Amino acid sequence: MQLEQINSLYSLLKTPKLFGRYITNSHIEKCLNELPKSLISVVGYSVEERPIYSLKFGNGPIKVLLWSQMHGNESTTTKALFDCFNLFDTGNDIPKDILEACTLVVIPILNPDGAERYTRLNANDIDLNRDAQDLSQPESHVLRSVYEDFKPNYCFNLHGQRTIYGVESSGVSATLSFLSPAQDEERSLTPNRKVAMSIISQLHNMLQSELPNGIARYDDGFNLNCVGDTFQNFDVPTVLYEAGHYPNDYNREDVRRLMFIAIIKGLLVISNDVNSFGFEDYLKIPENSKSFYDIIIRDAKISEDNNQLTDVAIQYNEVLKASKIEFVPTVEEISMLDEFYGHKEINAKGGLVRNAENLELKVTSENDFVLINNKKIALKP
C-alpha cells in the first residue's frame, strides 16, 4: 500500500459525524444507522445496560479481532475504525485484499459507560484492562466471550495515551506507540510475539515519512491481568496500538488519520504473508518515556521575595462539561525541568510569573492564563 494512495483517499473516507475527544454510544449509533444491519450485532451490555456493539466484515480465512475504548476516554481509535468502515464500503483494491483474506470482528466501544462519563474506568470504577483474569465485569465477559466464540488468529488492542509521552529523550512527542505484549515474566520472544513484532515493524517502516521520529515502543512489562498480555499468553499474536499527541492536535484529528493508516496497514500485512517480514526492526524502535508536559514556562521568578529562577509545568486536565471536553490548565510542577519538554514552551526570561489574580502560583491550581511581568498569557489550547 502506498502512503500517498491512502492519504488521498482519506479526506473522502473520514466520518464527519465523529469529531473531537468525546465519543459515546450515541455518537457511533448515528454512524451505525448508515451501515447495513447485517454487519452489526449487540454482543452484550455494560454495567448500566448500554449495548456493546460488534461489526463483522469480510469472509476470509484469517480471523482478526479488534476492540477500542476499553478505556472510555480513549476515543481516537474509535474514530479511526469508523473511517476504516467507510473504506471497506468502497470498491478499492485495498479493502478488497483485506476482506478477501480476512474476517474482521470489531468492537468499537467496549466500555460505553466509561465513554459516557469520559473516564478510563467502567461504571464500577474498574479498569477493564486489569480485569483479564478476574473477569469481574460484564464488559470483560463480553470481550472474552467474543474472543472464545470467534477464535481469532490475531488481535488488535486499540488505545490512546496521554500527552506526557515522548520518544525516549529525543524531545519528540510519541504520536503513535505500539507494543507486542509479553506473555510471560521473562518476556520471551515466542513465535506469536515475533509475529506481532513483525507487524509493528511494517507499521513503523511505512509511517516514517509521516512521523520520522514520532513513533515509540510501549513498555513490555508483563502483567497477565492486562488483556493484551492474556491473549498473547493464549498464543494469539496481539498488537497494542496507542494514539498519542501530535503538535497542536488536542482534538486528535491528525492522529486519527495516522491511526487509520496504521490499522489498515496492519490488516494488509496480515492479509499477506506476515511470516515473510522480520521482527528484528521492532527491537530498534525507541521506547516511550514520560518526558513531556503540555506547557513549560522556563526561567520563571515565582516569588517577589526570591530571585531564584525555576520552571513551571502546566498540564491540561480533560474535563467533561455539557457534552464537550474542556482542557483546564493546571500547575503540575514547579521545579527545574531540564529533562522534560513542553508541547508549548514559554520563556519568562526571569520575569515574575503570577496567576490570573496576580497571586503566587501553586501546584494543583487551575489557571486559564498567567501574568508574566503583568502581561496576560493564555494557556488554553
CA–CA separation, 142 and 124 (whole Å):
16
Of 265, 290, 315, at which residue does a domain stop?
Answer: 290
CA–CA separation, 51 and 42 (whole Å):
6
Query: What is the count of structural domains for the chain?
Result: 2
Residue 245 Cα to chain centre, angstroms? 9
CA–CA separation, 95 and 118 (whole Å):
32
Judged by DSSP in three states, 67 sits in: strand
Query: Smallest Cα–Cα separation from 381: which of 321, 294, 313, 310?
Result: 294
Residue segments in the chain with a per-residue pLDDT below the cut of 50: none
CATH code for position 326: 2.30.40.10
Are residues 87 and 173 located together in one domain of the fold?
A: yes
* pLDDT on residue 274: 77
> 159 — phi, psi (to 5°)?
-135, 180
List the domain range (segments joined by +) for residue 302.
292-378
CA–CA separation, 199 and 179 (whole Å):
10
Are residues 272 and 340 located together in one domain of the fold?
A: no
Query: Smallest Cα–Cα separation from 297: which of 250, 337, 261, 257?
Result: 337
CA–CA separation, 262 and 124 (whole Å):
32
Are residues 297 and 283 located together in one domain of the fold?
A: no
Are residues 303 and 180 located together in one domain of the fold?
A: no
| Per-position DSSP letters for 268-311, written without gaps between them | HHHHS-GGGS-SGGGGGSPBEEE-EEEEEEEEEEEETTEEEEEE
Are residues 35 and 73 located together in one domain of the fold?
A: yes
CA–CA separation, 110 and 41 (whole Å):
13
Residue-wise pLDDT for 16-69, tens only, equals 999 999 999 999 999 999 999 999 999 999 999 999 999 999 999 999 999 999
* pLDDT on residue 23: 98
Task: Count the helix, strand and coil residues of the chain and give each as a percent rounded to the nearest 5.
Answer: 30, 30, 40
pTM (2 decimals)?
Answer: 0.96
Are residues 33 and 137 located together in one domain of the fold?
A: yes
Are residues 240 and 341 located together in one domain of the fold?
A: no
* pLDDT on residue 270: 95
CB 231 within 8 A of CB 200: no
Q: Which residues contact 96 (CB under 8 A, 6 or more apart)?
A: none
Of 246, 265, 290, at which residue does a domain stop?
Answer: 290
CA–CA separation, 104 and 32 (whole Å):
16
Task: State the pairing for strand pair 324-335/154-160.
Answer: unpaired
Which run of H or E residues covers position 6?
Answer: helix 3-13
* pLDDT on residue 92: 85
CB 1 within 8 A of CB 268: yes
Of 230, 263, 290, at which residue does a domain stop?
Answer: 290
Query: Smallest Cα–Cα separation from 271: which of 100, 139, 125, 148?
Result: 100
Are residues 345 and 282 located together in one domain of the fold?
A: no
Are residues 231 and 357 located together in one domain of the fold?
A: no
Are residues 136 and 267 located together in one domain of the fold?
A: yes
* pLDDT on residue 276: 66
CA–CA separation, 178 and 212 (whole Å):
15
Are residues 251 and 358 located together in one domain of the fold?
A: no
Judged by DSSP in three states, 349 sits in: coil
